[in-house]
Structure 1
Amino acid sequence: MNKKRLNSLAIGAITLAAACTGTAAFGQGADTAPAASPHSRLDTVLARGTLQVCTTGDYKPYSFRKPDGAFEGIDIDMAESLAKSLGVKVEYVKTTWANLMSDFLAKCDIAVGGVSTSLERQKHVFFTQPYMIDGKTPIARCADVDKYQTLAQIDTPATRVIVNPGGTNERFAKQYFTHAKVTVYPDNVTIFKQILDGKADVMVTDASETLLQQKLNPGLCSVHPDKPFQYGEKAYMLPQGDVTFQQYVDQWLHLARATGEFQSISDKWLK
């Protein structure tokens, strides 16, 4: 076979291979539609026209339910801001700390109200970027501040620790106070009055809450809120696996902080 004939056969083989490849690629494109993007909660919220927000309503300054049923606080104003950015209305779902996770998974698009991040919660939900750094610190009658500076000072049989149920405060108390008398008190709104009235000695909660409660309850003092017992963060809970919705909420939160909107809302409730 001469050289000219070999070149001709080679060119033909290449042309045929290219044609087959093109046909296969075309056939694949025709027979198989591009993979659809997973449906996001973002689409659901926009179609529904409402943002369903779980919140306890018992945690000033983040979320508090007034006697008339309306909610107010830092995270309530922030939820309204998020809904406005989406062009929808807010629908609040009242929950408790003990039922926060189950209510969120069943009923809500986002959970707000001073929610602390934790690895246990992270097993079931996504969190936004943190919007506040916080940590557990004591609050006690001002005359007793020197008595409750350390965990060891608190964790004695003579100390009456009071704690609200179902959240990170209760878990902290159960972990660190094995000798003190720990009472689980059901109402996080009136729990601080129990200390003022001498029915309890100390509560360990988030430093930001102790700073507000000492203003609302003269006679109570936050104990070293600038040096809490442990590091903590506050963030918003979102559906696990929904990266699209998480990225939208994260970007909204980033802009709210960068433009000063979050600081303005925070100052409104803390000052």
Structure 2
Amino acid sequence: MLHRVALTTMALSAAALFALPAAQAQEAVSSRLDVVQKQAKLRVCTPGDYRPFSLHKPDGGFEGLDIDLVQSAAKALGVQVELVKSSWSTLMKDFQEKCDVAVGGISVTLERQKSAFFTAPYMVNGKAPITKCENVSKYQTVADIDKPGVTVIENPGGSNERFARANFKQARIVLYNDNTTIFDEILKGNADLMISESVETLVQQKLRPGLCAVNPDKPLQYGEMAWLLPRGDASFKAWMDQWLHLAKATGEYDRIVGAWLR
């Protein structure tokens, strides 16, 4: 009996010895939240070509509602923002290698969810066409657009291109690398329309007389926008989600977004 008790005690002691390093290792793994606070810096990746969310200016700075929102979050966290220029085709790679968060009109997709966490969505925003005003009645539905002879122009690597390729099998899809001047191609007659986020189509019709958003209040596809966060980091996500909740509750969110969408 004593022999059996001794063996049991030894087994428990051995298990404790193995468990201790594992527990210590777990404690040693800091949340990105801790790292950001320690470095006093929030590294933010953004393509910077998507009004009104994020735009890379000629002087090298950035502006947009996402830029103002992330600056507000960083202020609440007590850190400075470091903005990192990216592109839609390299956004996930750049985010994983260089940044703590990615912003700039990023649509929530299941494909992106495989590689990163999202914050709680800060905006509901679906896909809508934008075209010359005289052609609005021609492009009301996916079926109206998906016809031979129709040219759809999209920026490469983002959810707009993925939507177009998934839904248009007969229409011609062309890619245009400069997302800040892509809408001018429609005015020039080089494309019939573009599919974009409904909020962007509203902004662009104000900026470019002659272009009109097509049913932006009834988009072709439901969509949400959120920020990318490191996968598996529940603490960082919880802080960001709580900040967003409070920003909406206090009116900070409405103040920032309203300044860009009025």
Counterparts of 1:171 and 1:32, CA distance in 2: 48
**Of the candidates 148, 161, 180, which is equivalent to residue 139 of structure 2?**
148
In the TM superposition, residue 154 of structure 1 has moved relative to its aligned partner by 0.6
Partner of residue 268, structure 1: 259
In the TM superposition, residue 147 of structure 1 has moved relative to its aligned partner by 0.4
Counterparts of 2:173 and 2:186, CA distance in 1: 13
Counterparts of 2:186 and 2:251, CA distance in 1: 36
Partner of residue 209, structure 2: 218
Within 5 Å, give how 1:229-248 maps onto structure 2: 229-248=220-239
SS of 1:267's partner is: helix
Partner of residue 184, structure 2: 193
Partner of residue 227, structure 1: 218
Partner of residue 13, structure 1: none
Partner of residue 172, structure 1: 163
Partner of residue 160, structure 1: 151
In the TM superposition, residue 195 of structure 1 has moved relative to its aligned partner by 0.5
**What TM-score results when the alignment is normalised by the length of structure 1?**
0.88
Counterparts of 2:164 and 2:183, CA distance in 1: 16
Instruction: Give the residue type in structure 2 aligned to 1:158.
Output: G
Partner of residue 5, structure 1: none
In the TM superposition, residue 164 of structure 1 has moved relative to its aligned partner by 0.5
1:89 aligns with 2:80: yes
In the TM superposition, residue 157 of structure 1 has moved relative to its aligned partner by 1.2
In the TM superposition, residue 198 of structure 1 has moved relative to its aligned partner by 1.2
In the TM superposition, residue 200 of structure 1 has moved relative to its aligned partner by 0.9
Within 5 Å, give how 1:16-31 maps onto structure 2: none
Percent identity, please: 56
**Of the candidates 37, 46, 49, which is equivalent to residue 55 of structure 1?**
46
Counterparts of 2:67 and 2:94, CA distance in 1: 18
Counterparts of 2:95 and 2:130, CA distance in 1: 30
Counterparts of 2:215 and 2:30, CA distance in 1: 46
In the TM superposition, residue 43 of structure 1 has moved relative to its aligned partner by 1.1
Residues 193-242 of structure 1 deviation map (CA, whole Å, 9 limit, x = unaligned): 11111111100111011010000111100000111111100001000000
SS of 1:221's partner is: strand
Counterparts of 1:138 and 1:113, CA distance in 2: 20
Partner of residue 139, structure 1: 130
Runs of 4 or more consecutive aligned structure 1 residues displaced over 2 Å after TM superposition: 31-38
In the TM superposition, residue 85 of structure 1 has moved relative to its aligned partner by 1.1
In the TM superposition, residue 169 of structure 1 has moved relative to its aligned partner by 0.4
SS of 2:129's partner is: strand
Question: What value does the CA root-mean-square deviation take over the aligned residues?
Answer: 1.9
Instruction: Give the residue type in structure 2 aligned to 1:168.
Output: S
Instruction: Give the residue type in structure 2 aligned to 1:54.
Output: C
**Of the candidates 163, 183, 194, which is equivalent to residue 203 of structure 1?**
194
Unaligned residue ranges in structure 2 (runs of 5+) = none
Counterparts of 2:241 and 2:142, CA distance in 1: 35
> Structure 1 stretch 42-51 or stretch 126-135: which is displaced more?
42-51
In the TM superposition, residue 49 of structure 1 has moved relative to its aligned partner by 1.4
Instruction: Give the residue type in structure 2 aligned to 1:58.
Output: D
Instruction: Give the residue type in structure 1 aligned to 2:68.
Output: D
**Of the candidates 96, 103, 108, which is equivalent to residue 117 of structure 1?**
108
Unaligned residue ranges in structure 1 (runs of 5+) = 1-16
Counterparts of 1:101 and 1:225, CA distance in 2: 28
**What TM-score results when the alignment is normalised by the length of structure 2?**
0.91
Instruction: Give the residue type in structure 2 aligned to 1:263.
Output: D
In the TM superposition, residue 32 of structure 1 has moved relative to its aligned partner by 4.3
